[in-house]
C-alpha cells in the first residue's frame, strides 16, 4: 500500500491552486497586433490578446451557473438551449467541482471503492476536458497558457496515482508469519 496518500493529494491540491493562478485563456481588449509584446499573446489570426488566469474562468462559472438555472425557469428557455450556451461553464464546473469533491471523499478514512471509482472518473474527465479546452485556444505558442497545461499534467498524475493506489491495495497479501509458524 502506498503510504502518505493524503499527503500526495494535498500536494497536488497546492499545485492545482498554482495552476488556477496561471493563464488559461485570453481576452481581446488588448493593444493592436503591431504593439503586441509581453505580457500579451499574439494569436493565430494576427490579433493581440491578454492572458486570463483560471481563477477568472472559475469565478465566471460560479457566478453564471445560478443565472443559467434561473434562466431555465424564468425566461422559458429549454434545457438544450441552456446546455448549448453554457457548455464552457458546465465543463469548467465539472472539472473543478467533481475533482475537489472526489478527492476530499478519498481523503476521509472511510473511503470506499465507490469513492475511488468516482475519483478516477472525475480526474479522467477533468484531464480530457482540460485537453479539449487547451487545444481549442488560438494561441501560436500553446505553452504560453501554462496554467491549463499544468492542470492537465496534475490531473493525469493524480489519475495515475489513484489507479496505482487501487491496484496496490487489491494485490493479495502473503502472510509470512503464518508460513513460518507452520514450518516450526
DSSP string computed for 53-119: EHHHHHHHHHHHHHHHHHHHHHS---HHHHHHHTHHHHHHHIIIIIHHHHHHHHHSTT--HHHHHHH
pLDDT digits (tens, 9 = 90+) for 24-67: 877 766 666 667 777 777 776 777 777 788 888 888 877 777 77
| Whether pLDDT at 153 is above 90 | yes
* Burial letters 165-177, b for 16+ CB under 10 A, else e: beeeeeeeeeeee
pLDDT digits (tens, 9 = 90+) for 76-134: 666 666 665 566 677 777 777 888 888 888 887 666 778 888 888 888 988 888 888 78
- The overall pTM is greater than 0.85: no
Q: Are 134 and 152 in contact (CB under 8 A)?
A: yes
Would you state the pLDDT for residue 81?
62
| Whether pLDDT at 16 is above 50 | yes
Amino acid at each position: 500500500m502506498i503510504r502518505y496518500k493524503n499527503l500526495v493529494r494535498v500536494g497536488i491540491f497546492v499545485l492545482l491552486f498554482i495552476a488556477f493562478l496561471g493563464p488559461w485563456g485570453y481576452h481581446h481588449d488588448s493593444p493592436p497586433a503591431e504593439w503586441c509584446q509581453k505580457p500579451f499573446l499574439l494569436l493565430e489570426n494576427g490579433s493581440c490578446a491578454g492572458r486570463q488566469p483560471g481563477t477568472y474562468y472559475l469565478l465566471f462559472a460560479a457566478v453564471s451557473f445560478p443565472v443559467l438555472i434561473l434562466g431555465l425557469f424564468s425566461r422559458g428557455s429549454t434545457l438544450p438551449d441552456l446546455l448549448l450556451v453554457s457548455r464552457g461553464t458546465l465543463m469548467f464546473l465539472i472539472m473543478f467541482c467533481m475533482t475537489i469533491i472526489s478527492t476530499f471523499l478519498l481523503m476521509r478514512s472511510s473511503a470506499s471503492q465507490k469513492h475511488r471509482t468516482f475519483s478516477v472518473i472525475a480526474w479522467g474527465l477533468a484531464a480530457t476536458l482540460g485537453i479539449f479546452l487547451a487545444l481549442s485556444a488560438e494561441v501560436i505558442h500553446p505553452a504560453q497558457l501554462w496554467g491549463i497545461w499544468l492542470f492537465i499534467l496534475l490531473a493525469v498524475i493524480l489519475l495515475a496515482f489513484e489507479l496505482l493506489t487501487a491496484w496496490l491495495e487489491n494485490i493479495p497479501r502473503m502472510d509470512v508469519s503464518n508460513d513460518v509458524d507452520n514450518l516450526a
